[in-house]
Structures are given as structure tokens and as C-alpha cells.
Structure 1
Amino acid sequence: MRAWRLTLPAVLAAWLAVLAPMAAAQTTAPEPVVLAGTLKKARDTGTLVIGYRESSLPFSYLNQAKRPIGYSIDICQAIVSAAAAEISRELAIRWVPVTSENRFDAMTSGRIDLECGSTTRNAERMRTVAFSPVIFVAGTKLMVPRNSPIKAFRDLKGKTVVATAGTTNADSIEQLSQRFNLGVKLIRARDHADAFEVLRNGGAAAYAGDDVLLYGFLARADAGKQFVVTRDFLSYDPYGIMLRRDDPQFASVVDNAVRHLITSGELERLYKQWFLNRLPTGERLGIPMSAQLEDIIAATPQAPE
């Protein structure tokens, strides 16, 4: 049998034949990603639409110049920056005010792309909308006049309670009233500021709301001598940034942007800015981070690079 002998030029030629297709494959540009949903809309229009709340201090509220500011607003602006980087285009923000009652319709109808306020993320709501990772953990409490006999939910028997329409706070009061036969008369106000005014004007014996929002009203209205917030929680409410369901590309951008804020330490800085330091509008809430939010931050994995 005749032996094959390969000369050095022949060996080099053989290696070049193998490496050439590999090199070509490595230098071939990847297929461009086909954008869909919110990211496609953002690329086509150069705009993302943010729904904001007018009186959810310190999450989303209006400053003296009537511009939306707050903890949730800052988080949403980071999401917009991440979306702009994803589609390689500068994005403007169009601001649209929403209320507790119309925020879900505004999202599902496409009127807004992100809702940046104080919205509880729960399983029932996630059947119709999607949420970012948890950004805050609140809980339902009662605000009552300082001389009120109401100390706990059982003291609400036969009383009138105001809560904001479309909130889990209103649902909690309704459920407690039915379960314990309290006979509570529930007033559903248009928004948080309206609910506070009902209480302040004597239209209800208690205002049921998220504890942090109640403390915000005490600070902003300088009403600490007139009202107090009860000690016990009636429910726990994790907040998230709301977006549309079935939009995986945008959901990934939102998820990664919020996880980056958490794991980089930026979310803790924002928390200190909005809950511990003096606010741009002059109030100081002085609310330390809850153990629940600390646990969420500690357990959050880093976003992919």
C-alpha cells in the first residue's frame, strides 16, 4: 500500500481550507433583532409614554412647577434610558396623568407604556398587566383623627371609611367588613388626595391607604397634630412598575433595568433620597427601609450584561 506524505505547503493549504469558513462565520454580522411591541413603537415614534400619579408622594407627585417627580419616576426614567440603549435611539418621554381607577385601562388600551406610581403587584392584576421586579413593600393602615377611638380594624364596626377607588386598600376594607361583620360604609374616592380631603373634612372616620402614602400626607399637609396612623397592618402590598402583558422584549428591558438598579446599589440610593432625606418639595418622611424590601434586594440576582 502506498503511503501518503504531505509536504508543509500541503499541510498549510489544508488548514487554511478548514479555517477559512470558520473565520468567515466569525466575521459575519449577527442577524438584526426584529423589534415588536413597545420597543418597536418607541423606535418608530422616538417616544415612551409614562403614566404618572399626581398625589402619590414620594413615588409620583407634582412639584411646584407641576412636573412629575418621585421615587417611581426616577426608576421609570432609568427604564427609558435602558430602552433607548436597546434600540440605539434617543427617546423622549410623554407624561400622561392617571388615577387609581383608570390606570389599568390606560395600560391595556395602549394609552401609556409604563405606569410609574404606587401600584401593588399581585397575582390577580398580573392576569391583565405585567410588572417589574418589586421596588417597594407597603401595607394598608388607617389614618384617623388623633383623638379617635379607632386603634385597629375591629374598631371600624358601623363606621364610615374612605379609600381610593381601584386600590387594594379598598378591597381589604371590604373583605374585612364582610369577614368580621363590621358593617363598614366604604367611600371610594377618585384619588389619594381626594380621600385625604374626605377624612380632613369629617366625611369619614378613617382613611384606609398604604402606610407610606398616609405618612406622606401627614408630612405634606403638616397634619401630624391632627391625625395619626394606626399601628397594625391590614395587608401587605409589594409595588412594581406596570407595563403591558405579552410584550417579552420590553419586559426583558424593564426587568434588567430594575435589577441593575437593585444590584448596583442605585435603588438604595434612590430610597435614601426619597424616603429619608428632605424632598425637593421640602418634606421629610424619615421612613427606614422595611425588612421585606431589604430581603428582596439581597436576594435579587444580577441582570445579564
Structure 2
Amino acid sequence: MIARIPPVRPSRGEQVCSSAPPSPEYPVAFGFPNISLCLIRLPGRFDSGRRVQSRIKSFKFIALIDSSCLARFMLYTLNRAFRQGVCLDQDAVEAFAKKRAASHCGPINKNEIKDSSMRIVPHLLGVTITAALISTPIFAAELTGTLKKIKESGTITLGHRDASIPFSYIADASGVPMGYSHDIQLKIVEAIKKDLDMPDLKVKYNLVTSQTRIPLVQNGTVDVECGSTTNNVERQQQVDFSIGIFEVGTRLLSKKDSSYKDFDDLKGKNVVTTASTTSERILKAMNADKQMGMNVISAKDHGESFQMLESGRAVAFMMDDALLAGEMAKAKKPDDWAVTGTAQSYEIYGCMVRKGDAPFKKAVDDAIVATYKSGDINAIYSKWFMSPVPPKGLNLNFPMSDKLKELIQNPTDKAAEDKKA
């Protein structure tokens, strides 16, 4: 641990490297108690003028610590929090350290600085170093929006579904959600614990439905919702979406021995779907555009939709193919049912966050990308789509599609219709 000794105190806004002029876009740095934290602004590439919280990983960090009268550069917590390493302009650093530390403990040997740095990039050109001493935990003075709410309350609230098998659902009396999307949500929680240095962060669960999920995110009741929510242009006007977590096609579930194999077979028939979903909109558009005369039944959730199908009140259930596979798996006789029909649309699921909260969205996106890059996503997928799942221990046998593989390889927060454009 670091001894409590007088730190080197660079003046706020002091320019250490003269190769670039001071700019309002170059924010002051953040820090820890007894650490003067210098922030290097890389030239050009990230000059978007956005708030620093939304671009914090575009910076490299230096921690300058006065310990035993030696100015030392240490990665300390920053390496754990940002995994970005340290970039040092050696000449500027040497001049800065000598100037600021001399008044405390005399001149400093260049080798002492060089030896104490954990990684050096010696040819960093055109940088401006702005420094400040902030005696607060990391980012505490700079947090806004959802991150600030989480930090102050000590709790993060996750929105979940009760019957979106295998994405987000409740399988037993404990009331604790589970599923593919929920496991990704837990990865987000773990990342935020590290980012905010809150190992004891509490998790609160809040049940949502197709009708309530967007309002509950908008009004702050739910911090992030990961379930089976399609990212589309219309919803983007109300909330922000993370990078995609799944890609599906909208198809039909019907009796395996029935004559209802595709959408053209449904003219004049009862067809069920879940209210406030993309499938409901597509079915109504089919009636209007093709005069199909279907009686579209809108159930409150996927479980109720399947009950109507299973009881014979509808001849087919339209929904995302992966969700249909989940409903089929929990049927009394799963082998009696089949997912069929030509896909009417391709949808990308994303996690919802409040609109305009760029720092929190970035934290969510970064956690998902890390899950993809580490390969953890493959284990999560296998657990929920290629292995027995609660409550009945049935295996969906739903191999990962080429579209999902592409999404994992090239993450995007675009809606499916944007990708096609």
C-alpha cells in the first residue's frame, strides 16, 4: 500500500509538454488520495468534444507518486480498472517530476523515474498533459447519470422477464431470474463493480413485461434491461441500446402434423403473438397489405401466447425463432411442435439503458465486448441453447447461427434495419 506522505501537487491545468497548446477539450485528470494523476491526451483521433466519461478509455494514464522522496510512476489501480497500461513522454515526465518534486526532496535521478515506470512509450508526439490532485475515489467527482446513481445508492437494478425462455425467465419459487441474456447482464454487473471499485455492489431485480420494459428504463426504475428486446429504429427514439447480444428471425410455431407451415397458410385463421412486439406489428401489416384476414390475438407475454396455441385457440404462434424454441421446450409434449415458416424479419436483441446516458452505455458495451473477446460468450450460449435448461431439463438444440457469430465477431449497436441499409 502507499504510505500517507505529501504528494507531488501539480498545478491544475499546468502544461508539462509544450508541443501542443492547452485546450478546453483537454479535461483535468482524475485521481486517488495521495496520487497526482496525469492524463495524456492523444492528438487528433479522439477530438470529438464529447464528455470525458464517454471516452475515458481513449486516454492513457500516469500516476505520479511522491514516495520516500522519489517520484515514481505506477500503474496502481488504473491497470486493473482500465487495462490500458501507461504511456510516458520521458522528456516531459523528467522535467515535470524534477520541477515539482525538487521543492519537497531535492533533484530526482532520471533512472529512478525510468526504472519505476511499468511500461514506457518513448515516442509519443504532440501530447498535452493536464494534471490535478483529487482526493476522492476514482471518478467520484465526475460520475453522472446512472453510474452516479449506482455509486450513491450502492445498488444496481436489473430488468428481467418472467417467461422469455431461454433469455430471461424465472424457473422456480426463488424468483431469481436466469437465462442467456441474464448471464450477460451479470457480466455487466461484474464489470461495473470493478469500474466503480464497489465489490459489494448490491443487485436488485425488477420484473418487466413487453409493455412496461421501456417506461421502466426511461423513468429510472430499471438501470439496464437485458432480455429479448429487439433493437429497432422506433425504440431508439425512446431508449439507447447496447451492442447486440443476439440475432433472430421471426417465424411460426405450430403443430408438427398441422397444415400451417408458412404465413400464406394463415389466411382467415387465429394467430397469436405477444403484445407490443415486432411480430405483432408484422402480422397487422400483413393484414393491411395482403388482406389476409387473420384474427391477430395479442397475449400479455410469451407464456400466455403459447397457452393459447396449446389450447387450440390459435393455429400458430408468431415470434422470434429462439423464443419459439424455448416455448416448445416447456410444452407438455415438445415433440408435437415445430418451428416453421419463412422468416419475416431479422431482429437484433440489445440491452436497454436510459437515452443519452453515454458513460453508462459505454460501460455496458465494454462489458459485453469483453465477454465476446474472452470467449465467455461461447460457454454462455452452450449453457442455454445446447444443454438441458430449467425447469424441465430439456435441451433446445439450437446451434449458434452464422448471423450471431458475425455479430459477436463485429459488435454493433445498430438495429437490424440499419445493418441492411
Q: TM-score category by the smaller chain?
A: 0.7 to 0.9
Q: Evaluate the alpha carbon distance shift between residue 276 and residue 19 of structure 1 in structure 2; reply closer, same or farther with a 3 A threshold.
A: closer
Q: Which residue of 2 aligns with 1:205?
A: 315
Equivalent residue for 2:277, pick from 150, 154, 167: 167
Equivalent residue for 1:289, pick from 385, 400, 407: 400
State the secondary structure of the residue aligned to 2:203.
strand
Distance 1:223 1:103 in 2: 31
State the secondary structure of the residue aligned to 2:388.
coil
Equivalent residue for 1:20, pick from 82, 98, 107: 98
Asked whether 1:259 is paired with 2:259, we answer no
Distance 1:268 1:23 in 2: 51
Shift of 1:115: 1.0
Q: Is the 8 A contact 2:263 2:341 kept in 1?
A: no
> Deviation digits for residues 248-302 of structure 1, max 9, x if unmatched?
110110010001111111112111111112224312111100100111222249x
Q: Is the 8 A contact 2:160 2:206 kept in 1?
A: yes
Q: Which residue of 1 aligns with 2:235?
A: 125
Paired residue type of 1:251? K
> Deviation digits for residues 148-192 of structure 1, max 9, x if unmatched?
221211111111111100111111111122221111111110000
Distance 1:271 1:28 in 2: 45
Q: Evaluate the alpha carbon distance shift between residue 286 and residue 159 of structure 1 in structure 2; reply closer, same or farther with a 3 A threshold.
A: same
Matching of residues 169-188 of structure 1 within 5 Å = 169-188=279-298
State the secondary structure of the residue aligned to 1:85.
helix
Equivalent residue for 1:45, pick from 153, 161, 168: 153
Equivalent residue for 2:179, pick from 70, 84, 105: 70
Distance 2:215 2:95 in 1: 61
Distance 1:135 1:123 in 2: 17
Shift of 1:48: 0.8
Matching of residues 142-291 of structure 1 within 5 Å = 142-281=252-391, 282-291=393-402
Identify, as 1 or 2, the structure richer in helix: 1
Distance 1:62 1:19 in 2: 57
State the secondary structure of the residue aligned to 1:225.
helix
Report the number of matched residues: 286
What is the CA RMSD across the aligned residues, in angstroms?
2.2
Distance 2:314 2:298 in 1: 11
State the secondary structure of the residue aligned to 2:333.
coil
Stretches of structure 2 that go unaligned for 5 or more consecutive residues are: 1-93, 103-128, 413-421
Q: Which residue of 1 aligns with 2:87?
A: none
Share of identical aligned residues, percent? 38
Paired residue type of 1:291? D
Shift of 1:26: 9.1
Distance 1:115 1:17 in 2: 49
State the secondary structure of the residue aligned to 2:335.
coil
**TM-score normalized by the length of structure 1:** 0.88
State the secondary structure of the residue aligned to 2:233.
coil
Shift of 1:113: 0.8
Asked whether 1:299 is paired with 2:410, we answer yes
State the secondary structure of the residue aligned to 1:259.
helix
Distance 2:97 2:306 in 1: 73
> Deviation digits for residues 67-110 of structure 1, max 9, x if unmatched?
21111111111111111222212311111111111111111111
